[in-house]
Every structure is written in structure tokens, then in C-alpha cells.
Amino acid sequence: MTEYRGVAVSAGRIVGPVLTMAPPVAEPPAGATLPEGTDAAAETARLEQAAQAVRVALEQRAASAHGGAKAVLEATAQMAADPTLVQSAAGRVASGMSAERAVWEAGDEVAVMLEGLGGYMAERAADVRDVRARIVAELRGEPAPGIPGSDTPFVLAARDLAPADTATLDPQVVLALVTSDGGPQSHTAILARQLGLPAVVAARGVDTLTAGTEVFVDGAAGTVTDEVTEDHRRLAETWADLQRNPLTYEGGGARLSDGTVVPLLANIGGAEDARAAAEAHADGVGLFRTEFLFLDRDEEPSVEEQTAAYTAVLQHFPGKKVVVRTIDAGADKPLPFLTDTDEPNPALGVRAYRTSWEKPEVLAHQLEAVAAAAQATEADVWVMAPMISTLEDTEDVVGRIREAGLRTAGIMVETPSSALTADRLLQVADFASIGTNDLTQYTMAADRQLGALAALNDPWQPAVLALVGATCRGARAAGGDAEEAAGDAVTKPVGVCGEAAGDPALAVVLVGLGVSTLSMTPRSLPAVARVLGSVSRDEARVLAQRAVGARTAVEARETVRAALPVLAELGL
């Protein structure tokens, strides 16, 4: 038996056969020519047949797909049917170039041309390169790149998933995701949590499993096992029962066993997310990621466009809190009109709030739009800025938010400095929201984009939990509670909006540390509410101290999980 241990990113237990994602198609060697004695006309015919085969395969997959996946496959099939690519490649073959190299260069030429046109046409450049790769794979007799097609459910094993891969992922067929690379904040991890799929990342070697091998995936423990036992099947069936009879959340906050209520909010990125969160009975929004409107733009959207987009979100939450995060540009979200792509270390560079130092007008326009949207709706709008490190940062951004006419101004705690000085920062700011993704990255000095550092980027790290506790103690001090020990007089609210809040066991720890609200993907609301309901605040405090006092992240997680039998009952 081989057990692959990785990082747990989405709970759930699954038994199923593995299918591995084909590796990216390697670029044909530059200068590759037709094999000696090969007729150019015959090679062109082979090229045309390969393109036709790709088109047919994509159309067949599109016919059985649904929603966004269907649209993506249909668009790619149309690109494969467009004669421009094949004609351009055929001209190169006639000049003596190999078919593989000819279609590769022709694809680049067409893609660059589309990118130059901008707008919708530029977005099609990725489709051209996808088709190009598929034609090369067909010519070589290799598997097509991307997620394999299958009529039966399977566990998808891969090195990692690119954003483009996920467009064709069907959660009705893919049972779980396991990758050898990636981290807890990778695209794969975020997608898994959004879809409710069990997932393990950074499990070295899982991408080498033989297709068809039956495995047991434990998304809570972070393990993949290739020898399935009856106990594994029982655990998987418990999880399956939960999917057939899912937990529900009716709003009103999670009620602890002693009657304490903890509001459960949603993380969203736009109007469609807002609608889904409202339908899931979220008690509001703890993180509205506004950069959805800015990404892939060459220039700043107008105040009018921003106002309309924010209004479309806020209207879903009349009378409820919506925490708007100002633009979080930079690092893994560069913007050509705002950030410097040549920074040697962008995660530690001029990102998020810091971009307002040189270009204050972008933040000013955004705050103007948020204020207008707040006026146009009945939502209780709170605004916070990311990447705040000092009291000067806090005074500056809180002043800007209030000058824009917005009543409730806060900060994100994502750096150790803001956690350790929260008592001073929260004398100025009205609230704090802890972004555990970045707080973990900066505390552990580990780039969250690197799969090799995934074990460090674990919010269960005792050092990270200690900083969460320090933030909450600072909030009590700023709110007038002089007690260093746990007390309930936290008049400066502290929320958590990082992915940690959606882990039911970790949610117990966060509440025990003094966090007042939790914000997560709407799919996580029912499980978090159910598990929080199994403990009192005093019990949560005891578990929080055990986690902070643990020697390792693994020990912290296992200690807390062992004390929460409800997790096993729910298959979590």
C-alpha cells in the first residue's frame, strides 16, 4: 500500500478510479523539417485530418457538456474548424517544415494577431493555442491535453490545474481532485472548495498513479491511498450520504451550544456570487473582492461602471453587512495601469493599499463609486483596505474612506506587524478582517503560489493562530476591555475572511481565539454552522489554546479534530 500525504484543502472522503490529466504538449523543436522522402502534400493531408479529428472530438464533448463547459468546448471546436490556422500551417509545410512545427508556429502567428486586436478577439488567443496543442498531440498520437473525457466518475490526478483546465471540469463526473503540486491557495484548491469537491494538493507522486487504480481520498486528512479497505468504503459512504442529504443553513448565525451566535458571512467576487450567497442564506458578505472589475483591463474602469457593478452586488443584501475590500492589485493580480510588473518580489512590493501612494486617484475613484452604490441600496456597507502594516497606513486609509462619505472604515490584518499592533491600529479603524491566506504567507515567509512550500502555507500553523489571537486581544484593548484574558467585550469587531474560516474544525479555533464573524465560500456555511453548534464558547477557547500550544500544524489540526466527534459523524 502507498499513502500519498499532501495538504488538505477541501474535506470529503471518496473511493474511485484515478484518471490522470495529460501533461502539457511539448513544443516541437525549432527548425524541424519534413522527414526525408515525405511528400508535402501527404503531410498537409495528415495535418488537415488531425485538425478535423480535434474538431470532432471537441464537438462530441460539447454535446454532452453543460453550462460554461459547453460554451468553452463549442468555442474551441469552432476555432479548430476555422481554416485559417490549417492554411497558414500548410504554407509552412510546403516550404519543408514538419507538420507539428508548422501548426505550432501558425498557431502563434494567429494568436498574436488576435491579441493585437484586443477585446473579445484577444480572449480567443488562448483558444487558438489550445487547438494548436491538440492538433500537435493528434499528429504525434499523444493524449489530448487537459482534463480527460469519461462517461464514468473518476478521481482526477494531475500535477496542478490551470484556470483554463477548470472550464471543462464537470463536478458530476470528477469525484475529487488530487495534485502533486500547488498549495492551499492555488487555483485548484479554491476551485475545489467552490465546487465542494474533496481535494488534496502537494501530494508528491499522485500524478504518476496508473489510470484505473482505485484510491481512497481523504480531503480532511490530506491523504490519498492506493489500497482501499472496507473501512475506507464505509467512510466514503458516510460522505456520500451527506451529499444525498446535505446540511442546510437558514441564516441567523451559527448558534453555539451555550447560545452564543456567530454570524456566518460569504466571500464573493461579483453579482452572480452575491446572488448565490443570498440564496445560501449568508448573513451578509465578509469579503467582496472588487478587483474582478479591474482584472484584464488596460485602463481603470470609470466611476459610473464601478458604481453599477457594486450596486448590482449590494442590492442582494438589504439591511445586511457587506464588507467591501478596496482593490487588491499586485503580486499574483498585476494591473497594467496600476502596478509594476518588473518588481523583483511583487508579493512584498507595491501592492493593494500601497498602490495609492503613487496613484491615489484610483482608490479615490473606487471609494466614490462604492459610496454612490451604498447610497443607491439598503446594504450596510463597510469598507476595508488590504495590506495595512502600520498606524500611518491605517490613519491614511481610514481618513480616505471617511472623506468619501462611507461610515464604517476598517483594515485587513495580513501582516504580522498589523496583528501585533492591532491595539493601536484599531483605535483608529472601526474593525479588522484577518486575511489568513496572506497572513500565513507572510508569517511563514513562504510564497503561497509555490507548491514546494505548501506545508508552510497551512493556516493551522501555531504561529499563525497566535497572531490571530494577538489581533483579537488588540481589538479588546482598543475597545476598552483591559483584560488580556478572554473576555466578551470586543467592541472592535474582528472577522476572518481567509479560506481558514471555511474549515469547520478551524472555525471552532478561530471563535475560541475571539474572532467575532467568519466569512467563507457559501458552500461551507452549513458544515461550519453544524460543527460550531456542537461546542460552547468555553470549549472553543480550550481547543484554541491547545491548537496555539501545539508543536506543529499537523499536531494542531489532529488535536482539535480528535476533540470534535461531530466531524466523523458528518464524514468531514
* Catalytic annotation present for 497: yes
Q: State the Cα–Cα distance between residues 319 and 365, nearest whole angstrom.
A: 25
Is the separation of the CB atoms in 287 and 323 below 8 Å? yes
From the list 66, 187, 281, 365, the catalytic residue is: 187
Question: Taking a C-beta distance cutoff of 8 angstroms, is the pair 281, 524 a contact?
Answer: no
Would you call 561 helix, strand, or coil by DSSP? helix
What whole-number distance in Å separates Cα of residue 236 and Cα of residue 60?
32
Angle at 251 between CA 249 and CA 256, to 5 degrees: 80
Q: What are the φ/ψ torsions at residue 382 (nearest 5 degrees)?
A: -110, 145
| DSSP secondary structure letter of residue 150 | -
- Please give the Cα distance from 395 to 183 (Å, whole number): 34
Write the single-letter amino acid at 477: A
Smallest CA-to-CA distance from 487 within 536, 538, 420, 560 is with 538
User: Could you give the CA distance from residue 30 to residue 50 in angstroms, rounded to a whole number?
Assistant: 21
Whole-number Å distance between alpha carbons of 91 and 97 = 9
Instruction: List the one residue out of 280, 279, 298, 301 whose CA is nearest residue 290.
Output: 301
Active site residue 316: no
**Measured distance CA(142)–CA(140) in Å, rounded:** 5
DSSP assignments along 362-395, one per residue: HHHHHHHHHHHHHHHS--EEEEEESS--SHHHHH
Residue owning grid cell 507522486: 205
Give every strand in the sheet of 199-201, ordered side by side. 3-5, 223-225, 214-218, 13-20, 154-158, 174-179, 199-201, 7-10
- How far is the CA of 166 from the CAs of 65, 160, 169, 520, 552, in angstroms? 13, 11, 5, 21, 33
Instruction: Give the active site residue among 232, 316, 472, 497.
Output: 497
Q: Do the Cβ atoms of 12 and 239 come closer than 8 Å? A: yes
Task: Dihedral sign for Cα 296, 438, 177, 456, please.
Answer: positive
8 A C-beta contact, residue 26 and residue 221? no
Identify the helix (H) or strand (E) that includes residue 13: strand 13-20
Cα separation, 516 vs 494, whole angstroms: 6
CA distance 413 to 150: 44
- Among 213, 220, 312, CA closest to 270: 312
> What DSSP string describes 344-356?
SSGGGSS-GGGGG
Q: How far apart are CA 461 and CA 482, in angstroms?
A: 28
Q: What Cα–Cα distance (Å) separates residue 276 from each residue in 157, 268, 271, 522, 523? A: 29, 9, 9, 8, 10
- Residues catalogued as catalytic: 187, 497
